[in-house]
Amino acid sequence: MTTNGANGKAGGALAGVRVIDLTRVLGGPYCTQMLGDHGADVIKIEPPQGDEVRDWGPPFRDDTASYFVGINRNKRTLALDLGAAEGRDVLLRLLEGADVLIHNYKPGTLEKWGIGYDGFLAARFPRLVYCHITGFGADGPLGGLPGYDAAVQAVSGLMSVNGTKESGPIRMGTPIVDLGTGLNAAIGILLALHERNRSGKGQAVDVSLYDSAIALLHPQAANYLMSGKPPQRTGNAHPNISPYDCYATGTKPVFLAVGNDRQFRRLCVELGAPQMPDDARFRTNADRVTNRDALGDALERLLANHDGAKLADRLLKIGVPCGAVLDIPDVLAAPHTTHRAMVVEEGPYRGTGTPIKMGRSKGGLRFGPRRFNQDGRDILREAGYGPEEIAALERSGAVVGERRKGGGE
């Protein structure tokens, strides 16, 4: 394993792991940011046009969109034209000192360039962990087809269970499939690195948006596989638990997430209705799910005169899961967000913090997102290229100094 690049702060559980990152857009970059947060030396190799999310704004700062900034910290940048033989030679030189290669090119792209995993990379770099993120996998009825988060939300069934009977299917507000795929890719890479400690061998890690989306269909898929009944859209309500829904109060709405009878009794006592848990319609969770409309009407009446935020605070303190429904500005300014270091700042950079807190091997912000090819010459020098060789690569266009106009794949 290698050491961290010179631009990063030392430390982290993955210090000494080098990741060559060919990914763009969201799932792959989210994965590699997490690895970088925990000390991996991530070298982000962009195509000549750059990662297109640099343009996904406004807002922008220094011609770079917030979308890019939010998922590309702790990575050094190099721009290569992998369509050119000289660019592929640079990639192979970098892989000599790498532990992980991750990419989300369409299936067959690396093979077209003569650097596919099975036919080339596995033999040349036997310890390399190779992670390929795709829309649908490389084979099968949908194999090789492109996938974007919203389209996969649709075809995987996620949209079918989001929304209400009146609204119809609704895309989830965050790109949950891309984010979940990024997490699965990070887990897969760590699993492969761990197994390599025993076997001494790398392996391929296959992660697709489609598989990740289906894995997120809980509990609706489990319900259907047991009952044979197709899931219905229930809005904010949970299909298996009640009360587990959003309710109006005198101020902010609150979300009650009551998971057992003890919590339900405490809720009723706090709302001044200690007799409700003894009502035959509400005695057990199964009773409450069966009679959720009647329960909802009763709770709405009890909640009407309460201050939502104050009530949520009281309920949490007596062990009843509840949250006032907050807007993003309120969440990011909340004292607990600050306490948990979930907003980080350094110079002009502001971003969300790492959700994984390690006891000894601290993770987090080492340096902010980099400009296009900002670290190119440093990375090439570390790989053994001399000044004349670097200049020749730049003249040939294999190393790209300025973004070329045009789209991605």
Q: Which pLDDT tens digit goes with each residue over 244-281?
A: 999 999 999 999 999 999 999 999 999 999 999 999 99
Amino acid residing at 302: L
Q: What is the pTM of this model?
A: 0.92
Distance of CA 234 to the CA centre of its chain: 25
Burial of 339 (0-12, 13-18, 19+ CB in 10 A): exposed
Task: Give the CATH number of domain 244-333.
Answer: 3.30.1540.10
Q: Which pLDDT tens digit goes with each residue over 304-338?
A: 999 999 999 999 999 999 999 999 999 999 999 99
Nearest to 35 by CA among 16, 14, 6, 20: 14
Amino acid residing at 296: G
By the 8 A CB rule, do 319 and 261 touch? no
Residues 6+ apart with CB under 8 A from 104: 22, 23, 24, 25, 27, 28, 132, 133, 134
What local confidence, expressed as pLDDT, does residue 409 receive?
56
**What does DSSP say about strands 343-346 and 129-134: parallel, antiparallel, or unpaired?**
unpaired
Q: Which pLDDT tens digit goes with each residue over 42-82?
A: 999 999 999 999 999 999 999 999 999 999 999 999 999 99
Q: Which pLDDT tens digit goes with each residue over 184-199?
A: 999 999 999 999 999 9
By the 8 A CB rule, do 277 and 221 touch? no
The CA distance from 119 to 76, in Å, is 29
- Residue showing tokens 């303190």: 317
Residues 6+ apart with CB under 8 A from 101: 19, 20, 22, 95, 121, 128, 129, 130, 131
The CA distance from 221 to 244, in Å, is 19
Domains 18-216+343-396 and 244-333 share a fold: no
Would the pLDDT of 407 be above 80? no
Q: Which CATH architecture has domain 18-216+343-396?
A: 3-Layer(aba) Sandwich (3.40)
168: left (phi over 0), alpha (psi -120 to 50) or beta: left
Q: Which residues are catalytic, by number?
A: 238
Q: Which two tokens stand for residue 276?
A: 């409700």
Helix (H) or strand (E) holding 37: helix 27-37
**Per-domain boundaries in the chain:** 18-216+343-396, 244-333
Amino acid residing at 97: G
